[in-house]
Amino acid sequence: MRIDRNSIAVVLVGVVLLALGPVLPSWAVSLLNVALCYGTVVLGMMLLMRTGIVSFGHGLYYCLGAYAAGLLDHFGKMPDMLLMVGAGAVTAGLVAAVLGLLLAKYRDIFFAMLSLAFSMILYGLLVKTASLGSTDGFNVAAKTVGGIVIAEDSVRIVVYSLAVVFATLSAFLLHQYLASHQGRLAGAIKDNELRVEYMGASVKAAVHRNYVISAVLAGIGGALMAVNIGHIDPEMTYWPQSGEFVFVAILSGTGSVFAPLGGALVFEAIRSFAYEYSPNTWQMVLGITMLLVMIFLPGGLWSLFTRKRGA
């Protein structure tokens, strides 16, 4: 493990966010909570984009993570937050390990559309499954953390703290991975797959591995969101949800693990304020934001920092 400046910064930001939790107004805690859940999913999107592939179907793993967490409570009667997040990560990882065997053979629009197709298959299954609430979904109520019962008035701050811990841990570990040989291989694959194969490494295995990691992160994000919102439904795997993750990933940039988390926060802030002040045209505000980013910051919001450093 390599502890560099960025690793320390990730941990410090996590500690600051944890410390701020009790003093922040409830609207800010809610905003951060959703941003951390989204940010964790987009960390995985960033890894895929660094490998040169874009998934238009990561709602699949986000939804699987949420349903795995929800089912623990719904059928398993195990409403423990840690178990729920663990179940979300494992379920998403296992499904991705299987689907990845097929997807790792495809690139570009074929990869994007095939991943979208898988997410829509899950959507179709969920809306037809009455025992899981069909289109309405069902409520999720997490009551313990590691077996310790949480007082009702502390649930919000505990859920927030859990999101901070998991997002920080995810960002820290992903940063370590990206700095490792396997992480560098992602950029090499994006640049030149032929050369990677002619140096003896398996492109397919590397793409598969990165796909599974990104799915695990989406599963964690989904499970955290289920615990946070307290309700899950098939919309979590519907195509606009996957599109939103791509949107945040492009908005953020792929230069650092800080980018997805910061980008998710900016996205949620713009969406919340746009919805508050312009309830009928909030999508237009998001659209214009994306347009401006693509024109003036093609490397995403993170390029603001790298430009400054390079100047």
Partner 1 sequence: MAAILDAKGLNKSFGAVTAAKDINVAVEQDSVVGLIGSNGAGKTTFINMVTGYLKPTSGAIHFDGRDITALSPRQITQLGICRSFQIPQLFNTMTVHENLLVGVGIVAAAGKRWSSDNHTYADPSKAVDAMLDEFNLGAYRDRTAGLLPEGTRKLLDIAMAMVVRPRILLLDEPTSGVSADEKFVLMDMVMAAVKQHKVTVLFVEHDMDVVERYTHRVLAFYEGRIIADGEPTDVLNDVEVRRYVIGGHIAPAGAASHA
**Which of 2, 181, 308, 309 is close enough to bind partner 1 by CB under 8 A?**
181
- 243 sits near partner 1 (criterion: CB under 8 A): no
Helices 203-229/181-191 angle, 10° precision: 110
**Three-state secondary structure call for residue 232:** strand
**Which of 147, 200, 240, 310 is close enough to bind partner 1 by CB under 8 A?**
200
Residue count at the site for partner 1 (CB under 8 A)?
18
**Which of 147, 198, 276, 308 is close enough to bind partner 1 by CB under 8 A?**
198
Q: Which residues contact 96 (CB under 8 A, 6 or more apart)?
A: 61, 211, 212, 214, 215, 216
Adjacent-strand bridge partners of 148: 145
Residue whose pair of structure tokens reads 């910064």 in the numeric block: 9
**Which of 4, 108, 136, 197 is close enough to bind partner 1 by CB under 8 A?**
197
- 194 sits near partner 1 (criterion: CB under 8 A): yes
Q: What part of residues 6-45 is at the interface with partner 1 (CB under 8 A)?
A: none
C-alpha 129/C-alpha 74 separation (Å) is: 14
Q: Minimum Å distance from CB 177 to partner 1?
A: 13
- 185 sits near partner 1 (criterion: CB under 8 A): yes
Q: DSSP code of 151? A: P
Q: Minimum Å distance from CB 191 to partner 1?
A: 4
Mark residues 56-85: x for contact with partner 1 by CB under 8 A, - for none: ------------------------------
Closest by alpha carbon to 49, among 226, 287, 252? 252
Q: Minimum Å distance from CB 298 to partner 1?
A: 14
Give the DSSP letter string of 266-281. Answer: HHHHHHHHHHHH-TTT
Residue whose CB is less far from partner 1, 144 or 182: 182
Residue whose CB is less far from partner 1, 52 or 262: 52
Adjacent-strand bridge partners of 80: 144
- 187 sits near partner 1 (criterion: CB under 8 A): yes
Q: Minimum Å distance from CB 53 to partner 1?
A: 16
215 phi/psi in degrees, rounded to 5: -70, -40
- Look up residue 111 and give its amino acid: F
C-alpha 300/C-alpha 17 separation (Å) is: 23
Residue whose CB is less far from partner 1, 190 or 231: 190
Give the DSSP letter string of 236-305. Answer: GGSHHHHHHHHHHHHHH-SS-THHHHHHHHHHHHHHHHHHHH-TTTHHHHHHHHHHHHHHH-TT-TTHHH
- 192 sits near partner 1 (criterion: CB under 8 A): yes
Q: Minimum Å distance from CB 42 to partner 1?
A: 22
Kindly give the residue spans of alpha helices, DSSP state H, lying in 78-237.
Answer: 81-103, 108-127, 155-179, 181-191, 193-197, 203-229
Which range of residues in 35-43, 170-178, 182-190, 248-256 is near partner 1 by CB under 8 A? 182-190
**Which of 134, 139, 182, 306 is close enough to bind partner 1 by CB under 8 A?**
182
Contact residues toward partner 1 (CB under 8 A) are 181-182, 184-185, 187-188, 190-192, 194-202
